[in-house]
Amino acid sequence: MSDETLPVAERSAPPDGANLPFRCGYIALVGRPNVGKSTLLNAIIGQKLSIVTRRPQTTRHQLLGIHTTADAQMLFVDTPGMHLGQKKALNRYMNRVADNALEGVDVAVMVVEALRWGPEDDNVLARIRSHGVRAILAVNKVDRMRHRDELLPFIAAHSQDFEFSDVVPISARNKTNLDSLHDCMMLHLPARVAEFPEDQITDKSVRFLCAEAVREKLTRRLGQELPYGLGVQIEEFDEQPGLTTIGAIIWIERSSHKPIVIGKGGKNLKEVGREARADIEAMIEKHVFLRLWVKVREGWANDERALQQLGYRD
């Protein structure tokens, strides 16, 4: 699939990099759960930064991804999926984080799934409108479309809902049309110096990224069995020459969830530890000794105080 086969509705002219000063600005990636925001961030950064699984609401925290080129520094704010469910404190926290990310950004990229638009997408658009922020519509997962001729009517229908500055069909997974999206985002960034060193790719600590690596492997390993109230906290992080020792607690809400997470004969926990350790070693370029414990904290996902203690802070 080439970029030329993908229509772009009302796209502005790309910037002429040779005649523009250095630009730096904030870009919020927003959308309902499971539309591919984290996959898009990783594709743009060129490195795995935000965890990706098929399970909705995998992203729980606001994460800053920093992409620096010769002519710009793009500061991407990856957010949890905005959803209509407010059942638990954790759900409310994720919606607050996503909504707050729209405050003060230079442009929002609303990510939707091609040919799928529902009430949660309407909710995201309403939040963009309430913040008065300019927005680009990124229509993702076009590589999964069977009938390409359905794309233009879909774009036309939803371009009437809001005055998007640009509409760009993309495939974040295949990195299709990301150059076009890059050009559109550049137009909204102010001329100013970079905020971060050119080799920095996030504002998050290594400890945070290690906890997310463990949570990603748990999510992928357990699939639909995964308890919703599952969190990971790094309790030990000891760096020595040639070896980093990491101890992580896997928090669950009920004792009945413990056998699910651990698995028969500890199989699940062993595999999660092996896969997470490999990712962490690749990230920090050191040998890692990773210890995992499973502990119960009743109802933590619906306890505002517990959320604060476990690092879920606005």
Q: Which residue did the predictor score with more confidence, 277 or 63?
A: 277
pLDDT in the model for residue 34:
86
Strand partners, 76: 27, 65
Please, which residues have CB within 8 angstroms of residue 239's CB and are 6 or more apart in sequence? 286
Distance CA 311, CA 299 (A): 16
- 0.85 surpassed by pTM: no
Out of 1.10.1660.10, 1.10.1740.10, 3.30.360.10, 3.40.50.300, the CATH code matching 3-186 is 3.40.50.300
For residue 121, give both structure tokens.
């997408």
pLDDT in tens, 221-252: 887 776 567 889 999 999 999 899 999 999 98
Q: Which residue did the predictor score with more confidence, 205 or 79?
A: 205
Q: What is the mean pLDDT of the chain?
A: 85
Distance CA 305, CA 93 (A): 12
Average pLDDT of the residues in 94-104: 78
Tell whether the model's pLDDT for residue 137 goes beyond 90. yes
SS (H, E, C) 113-169: ECCECCHHHHHHHHHHHHHCCCEEEEEECHHHCCCHHHHHHHHHHHHCCCCCCEEEE
Average pLDDT of the residues in 108-114: 96
3-state secondary structure (DSSP) of residue 314: coil
For residue 160, give both structure tokens.
């009437």
Tell whether the model's pLDDT for residue 192 goes beyond 50. yes
The domains spanning 3-186 and 206-309 adopt the same CATH topology: no
The region of weakest confidence among 58-72, 144-158, 197-211 is 58-72
CATH code at 206-309: 3.30.300.20
Domain ranges of the chain: 3-186, 206-309
Tell whether the model's pLDDT for residue 310 goes beyond 80. no
